[in-house]
Amino acid sequence: MEQELREIVRKLLEEGAIEYFIGYAEGFEPLHTTPCFIERGEQVQALVWSPLCPYNLARYLHQMKNGAGKVGLVVKGCDARAIVELVKGNQIQRERVVVVGIPCQGQVDLAKLEDAFEGVEAVEGKGDTFLVTVGEKVHSVEKERLLREKCFSCRHPISFEYDFVLGEMSPLVYGSESEFAMVEELERLPVEERRAFWRAQFERCIRCYACRDICYACYCQECIFESKAPRWLEKTTTPLDNQTYHLIRAWHMVGRCIDCGECERVCPVGIPLRRLYKKVEKEVEQLFDYRAGMRVEDLPPLVTFAAEEPALSSRQDRSER
Amino acid sequence: MIKKAHLTQWLDRVAQGYDLFGPVLDGVVQFERVNSSDQLVFDYANSVVPPKNLFLPQTECLFAFRREEGSIILEPRGGLERERVLFGIRPCDARSLLLLDEVFNSDLEDTYYQEKRRGTILIGLACPSPPQRTCFCTSLGIDPLSPEGVDVLLTDLGDRYLVEVTTEKGEELVGLSQELFFPSAEGEKLKGEKGKSLEEVGEKIGSLWEDGYWRELSRRCLGCGVCTYLCPTCHCFDLTDVGSTLSGKRFRCWDSCMFADFTRMAGGVNPRPTGKERVRQRYFDKFSYFPEQYGVLGCVGCGRCSQYCPMGIDIRTIINEVIARGAK
Amino acid sequence: MSSNIYLPHLATIIEIEAQTPDTTMLRVTLDDPTLAQSFTYRPGQFAELSIFGVGECPISIASTPTRKGFLEFCVRAVGQVTNALHELDVGSKIGVRGPYGNPFPLSELEGRNLLFIGGGIGLAPLRSLINYVLDNRDHYGEVELIYGARSPQDLAFKDELKLWDEQEGVTVYLTVDRGDERWRGPVGFVPSFLREIAPSPQEKVAFTCGPPIMIKLVMEALEEMGFPPDHMVTTLEMKMKCGVGKCGRCNIGSRYICRDGPVFTLEQLKALPGGLEL
């Protein structure tokens, strides 16, 4: 698959079809790949692919706003949802992006991998297993043991037209649990306990903004958290400030979060952000029967108005009772 | 020497007379205040957030103000109620405090930092072998078994710790539970391994101001604050008022040279307008500006930036690239 | 006991004088009488002004230490704090920290001719030195001032410009980017005006302050006219917070503008990475 990808990219670059290509390259150690920008045909050997490529490269399409040319990138099925949303949000023009779909067979959770093995040199997906190379030994591990949490609710855009695909783009199907189970578990708690849960999580926040900066959807020219006049939020990290930060961001994700899970992956202090955004996703789905990133034609619920919002009016009835 | 089984006894004794801080599991490993040694974890590589936050807190009130009868009353804050003991600081982080001392004590003394620094006794924990995959202190001339910068250093020797006391304050702490300590047999001190030296990065980087590498690097960089906030030697801060003109507080908060608004002036002009200038600033600061001012590299090789960079950017790769590209 | 470097001194505004549509001069006195007596500074230095509840910003001291009992700050309303400073009345309390930064190299200037080139509010720090020089007239040679602003109404210190020009051995040249119906003087940007006047570099030190692009072009012009880089002095501006070289944001190379500047010679700037990019 790597070889096929390299050939496509080489061709695209040599024909002048794109200015550069965004892909994955080897990182500083076997467990870390890193994004790379390929500008010339001879650089394509740097491109790699493995279950250790978590980055949603669509985030780098923000940089396209200043240019006029075309850009190519490789996406996993889940990442393609970001492209759908960027097109919807008028951040990119679909025709300026050459999208190479790569059939992902699940991504590895580094923490789980490190707990299970030391000195891992490579990981490869094979059917229902990951092949983990440690020294001369190759361990075959059931995927379920090492998968990233988000891969259990793997879901692709239904109608995405890739420019190239390196195989069949079909979602992984794993686990029988509802994808909102972790949200529902919290919802069952009394409100005080829920509040205490999130307070404890947010208290740890160091407001490095990695969760915002890695988010494909955070493309505002001026982020509300950086506005000087009015200043909505100071750099102070009191529990209230941190909570304000996370709740405002959660609201801004309404109808936009594609559950790429990157925010949670990059949080250095381990805040379970996916749970927060999953809650937002669940509400949107229940109220508006809408899921972000599936089809370019779908109108985001917060920019449309229906005189009869069935889900909303039934809520109102409930609250009036 | 102290037996491993006795360590918690000693720490509990310490906690009676001092505010004890040490590694705890709060989502991730952090240095926090504890009441007893049960809250501590002992099997950890290092904290995520470096212990600098005990001396330069991420959010610190410098003073409160209030308007009163036509004038303004200022009430300075800061200071410690009780002397503190920090248990479990690693040698790289201990070195980082020596570097921060240069910043906060040189020229004009920063009393907020200094009071906390003077009021804190450090019990270091020598590093386990093998180190973490991102560790590279030995390449910067730091010994992961060195008591430099701490008052007491413990080195794990299986069922016991070798105890090296380097200061009077350290003696005081050991004196609290003298009965638990026993003399060591000779030659038990381990020797740290030296890594391939990367120190020439400081001589090479100066020639790379115009190099295309900084743009290359900045394309991958998201401009978040992970590397700077988790860096034990990064010390940039912002001053900000919270409240109204009638009453409020002035805070000092961590800030990051990776943020676009770090140098953006009120009129909108920004001398570091793109990621390229900001990334370049960070590495020039570590490897050129800091040594120029204080005579030592501004990096201690703790590896946190590499370990936690959202995009897998690795400082050792950068150093090697600088060494390969740069001229003396 | 060392003092708290972040705690401002309280000061009271005793006079407010509008200079241009967006610039105001504040004259303040320090509330503590002992401090008001002992507070010393030199031309070129700056102070951090606080409006408690809004914040702090660095402003160069526009008065000269030869005139005691007060400090003057020329404030252009561009940001939160400077806008708030414009809202204040006589009698209002502010905070003052400082003086910070390095001063103009006063002792090295003795006996020399001095050329000042200012743009807009950039005249404020130069004004401190000009008045210092005029108050010690015997120690210095000829004084020339080339000063420009966007429009006639943007020229600051208009009364003083006249006073200076009337003095023996002082020449003031004014220009504006755009004139108006009453403006009879030259029209043009400061750097090209400077080339027209073409002052001799003989025994002369040049000082310039203004918008970054003006400083850059003025330096280039001066160099072409034969001014040696160590005789070209500027005072720089960058976002500052602490004022004392600790908060880490206002550096050019290893030099902090707040601590090692704001006054630099072109020679010093040339030695710093990116020193000429500001």
Distance CA(B22)–CA(B12), nearest Å, equals 12
What are the beta bridge partners of residue B162? B155
Q: Does C31 touch chain B (CB under 8 A)?
A: yes
Going from N- to C-terminal start, the domains of chain A cover 2-107+147-315, 108-146
Find tokens 């002369």 and name the residue: C204
DSSP letters spanning A16-41: TS-SEEEEEEEEEETTEEEEEEE-SG
Which residues of chain C are modeled with pLDDT < 70?
1-2, 278
Chain B contact for C77 (CB, 8 A cutoff): no
Rg (CA), chain A: 21
Beta-ladder partners of A26 = A33
Q: Write the Ramachandran bin of C73: left for phi over 0, alpha for psi from -120 to 50, otherwise beta.
A: beta
Please tell me the distance from the alpha carbon of residue A99 to that of residue A96, in angstroms, as a whole number.
10
Structure tokens at A204: 């740890």
Distance, C-alpha B121 to centroid of its chain:
15
Chains that touch C (3 or more CB pairs under 8 A): A, B
The identity of residue C207, as a single letter, is: F
Q: Name the average pLDDT for chain B.
A: 93
- Give the helix/strand (H/E) hosting A75: strand A71-75
Which of B104, B250, B281 is the best residue to mutate to test the C interface, defined by the most C CB atoms within 10 Å of its own CB?
Answer: B250
| Rounded CA separation C277/C269 (Å) | 9
Q: Looking at beta carbons, which residues of chain A come within 8 Å of B133?
A: 29, 31
Instruction: Determine whether C150 is exposed, middle or buried from the number of CB atoms within 10 Å of its CB (0-12, 13-18, 19+).
Output: middle
φ and ψ at C26, to 5 degrees?
A: -105, 130
What pLDDT, on the 0 to 100 scale, is given for residue A314? 59
Q: What does the alpha-carbon distance between residue C46 and residue A160 come to, in Å, rounded to a whole number?
A: 60
Rg (CA), chain C: 18
Which of A51-60, A236-245, A294-303, C132-141 has the weakest average pLDDT?
Answer: A294-303
Q: Contact C254/B62, CB-based, under 8 Å? A: no
Question: Is residue C1 a contact partner of residue C52, using CB atoms and an 8 Å limit?
Answer: no
Nearest by CB to residue B310, choosing from A206, A238, A266, is A266
- Asked if residue C260 lies in contact with residue C240, where contact means CB atoms within 8 angstroms, the answer is no
Task: Note the pLDDT of residue A159.
Answer: 80
Contacts of A231 in chain C (CB under 8 A): 80
The pairing of strands C71-76 and C93-100 is: unpaired
B222 part of contact set with chain A, CB < 8 Å: yes
Backbone angles phi, psi at A27, to 5 degrees: -100, -160
Structure ipTM: 0.92
Bridge partners of B72?
A: B67
B260 touches chain C (CB under 8 A): no
* pLDDT value at residue B149: 95
- Here the tokens at position C39 are 């507070």
Are the C-beta atoms of residues A264 and A273 closer than 8 Å to each other?
yes
Asked if B28 and A207 come within 8 Å (Cβ–Cβ), the reply is no
Instruction: Please identify which residue in the block is written with the tokens 């505002």.
Output: A220
- Scored b (16 or more CB within 10 A) or e, A95-127 reads ebbbbbbbbbbbbbbbeebeeebeebeebebee
CA distances from C111 to A154, C106, C130, C133, C182 (A): 80, 11, 14, 11, 39
What pLDDT is stored for residue B74 in this prediction?
96
* C240 touching B (Cβ < 8 Å): no
Does A68 have pLDDT greater than 80? no
pLDDT at C1: 42
Contact with chain B for residue C241, Cβ under 8 A:
yes
Mutation for B interface: C88, C246, C251, most B CBs within 10 A = C246
Do the strands C93-100 and C46-51 form a parallel or antiparallel pair, or are they unpaired? antiparallel
Q: What is the pLDDT of residue A311?
A: 65
Query: Domains of chain C by range and CATH?
Result: 9-100 (2.40.30.10), 106-235 (3.40.50.80)
Length of chain C: 278
Domain map of chain B by residue range? 2-60+69-180, 201-236+257-325
Q: How many H-runs (helices) and E-runs (strands) does chain A carry?
A: 11, 8
Q: What is the pLDDT of residue A321?
A: 41
- Chains contacting A (3 or more CB pairs within 8 Å): B, C
Q: Which of B241, B255, B292 to mutate: most C Cβ within 10 Å?
A: B241
**For testing contact with chain B, the best of A26, A66, A233, A236 (most B CBs within 10 A):** A236
pLDDT in 10s for each residue of chain B, 328 residues: 999 999 999 999 999 999 999 999 999 999 999 999 999 999 899 999 999 999 999 999 999 999 998 889 999 998 899 999 999 999 999 999 999 999 999 889 999 999 999 999 999 999 987 888 899 998 998 889 999 999 999 999 889 999 999 999 999 999 999 999 988 776 666 666 677 888 899 999 999 999 999 999 999 999 999 999 999 999 999 999 999 999 999 999 999 999 999 999 888 889 999 999 999 999 999 999 999 999 999 999 999 999 999 999 999 999 999 999 988 7
Mark yes or no for CB contact B310/A210 under 8 Å. Answer: yes
Please check whether residue B155 touches A, CB under 8 A. no
Residue B115: count other Cβ atoms within 10 Å of its Cβ.
14
Q: What is the pLDDT of residues A135-189, one digit of tens each?
A: 899 999 999 999 999 998 888 887 889 999 998 888 887 776 788 989 999 999 9
**CA-CA distance, B146 to B156, in Å (whole number)?**
13
Q: Min CA distance, A200 vs chain B (Å)?
A: 9
Of C106, C89, C100, C104, nearest in space to C48 by CA: C100
User: Does the CB of B75 have a partner CB in chain A at under 8 Å?
Assistant: no
- Judge contact between C267 and C230, C-beta under 8 A: yes
Cβ pair C14, C89 in contact under 8 A = no
Helical (H) or strand (E) element with A199: helix A191-203
Asked if B198 is an interface residue toward chain A (Cβ–Cβ < 8 A), one would say no
> How far is B58 from B237, CA to CA, in rounded Å?
9
Yes or no, beta carbons of B237 and C246 under 8 Å apart = yes
Closest C-alpha to B250, from C246, C6, A304: C6
Edge-to-edge order in the sheet of strand C204-209: C170-176, C143-149, C113-119, C204-209, C232-235, C263-265
Whether residue B245 and residue C51 make contact (CB cut-off 8 A), yes or no, is yes
Q: What's the rounded Cα separation, in Å, for the pair C158 and C149?
A: 12
**Closest by CA position to C218, among listed C150, C119, C104:** C119
Chain B CB contacts of C81 below 8 Å: 266
Nearest CA-CA distance, residue A307 and chain B, Å: 41
| pTM confidence score | 0.94
Tally of CA atoms within 13 A in the half-sphere of C180 that contains its CB: 8
Instruction: Choose among B28, B225, B310: nearest Cβ to A270.
Output: B28
Cβ–Cβ contacts within 10 Å for residue A64, how many?
18
| CB crowding A256-282: b at 16 or more within 10 Å, else e | bbbbbbbbbbbbbbebbbbbbbbbbbb
- Chains touching B by CB (3 or more pairs below 8 Å): A, C
**Which strands form A20-29's sheet, in the order they lie side by side?**
A32-38, A20-29, A71-75, A97-101, A164-165
A231, closest residue in chain C (CA to CA): C80
CB A1 within 8 A of CB A168: no
